[in-house]
Amino acid sequence: MSQSHLDALYDYVQERCLWQFFSRTWDREENIEGVLNKVVRLWSGEEPLRGTPQERLFYADALPIVSDIKGRFDWASTIPAEEVKFLIEGLKSRLTETVITRSTNRELNHHLY
């Protein structure tokens, strides 16, 4: 995995994807995992699961992301499936660190929500 590829994906998601900023920690975690797992499957050419409404929602969010990534970044179509998985795992970690772990928003973990 190239650090520059991870940086490019991170910048893209920070700029274009609002699902990472949902109002609660559990919701952010669920969206980061769900959407990016669908991104891996779509990017790798695998058929994503769409059996539940939640899976269809994640699929709907992931579809334009993969299309944009392949359209914006020349390197995206040449990466093998194993590297895609590794790259997205790095992206998940970085997003989690930024929008959950280092967030100063106290409402993310408020006990009344």
- Cα 21 versus chain centre, distance: 12
- So where are the chain's domains? 3-103
Res 11: pLDDT: 96
Residues 18-55 pLDDT 10s: 877 888 888 999 999 999 999 999 999 999 999 999 99
Q: Where are the alpha helices (DSSP H) in the chain?
A: 3-16, 25-43, 53-72, 81-96
Evaluate whether 90 touches 7 at the Cβ level (below 8 Å). Answer: no
Average pLDDT, integer, range 80-84? 93
Question: The whole model's pTM is what?
Answer: 0.91
Give the phi and the psi of residue 39 in degrees, each rounded to 5. -60, -45
User: Where does the pLDDT of residue 8 fall: very low under 50, low under 70, confident under 90, or very high at 90 and above?
Assistant: very high
How far lies 47's CA from each of 1, 30, 36, 77, in Å?
Answer: 23, 20, 14, 17
Q: Half-sphere exposure of 49 toward its Cβ, with a 13 Å CA cutoff?
A: 9
Burial 67-93 (b: 16+ CB within 10 A, else e): eebeeebeebeebeeeebbebbebbbe
Res 2: pLDDT: 87
Structure tokens at 50: 């769409």
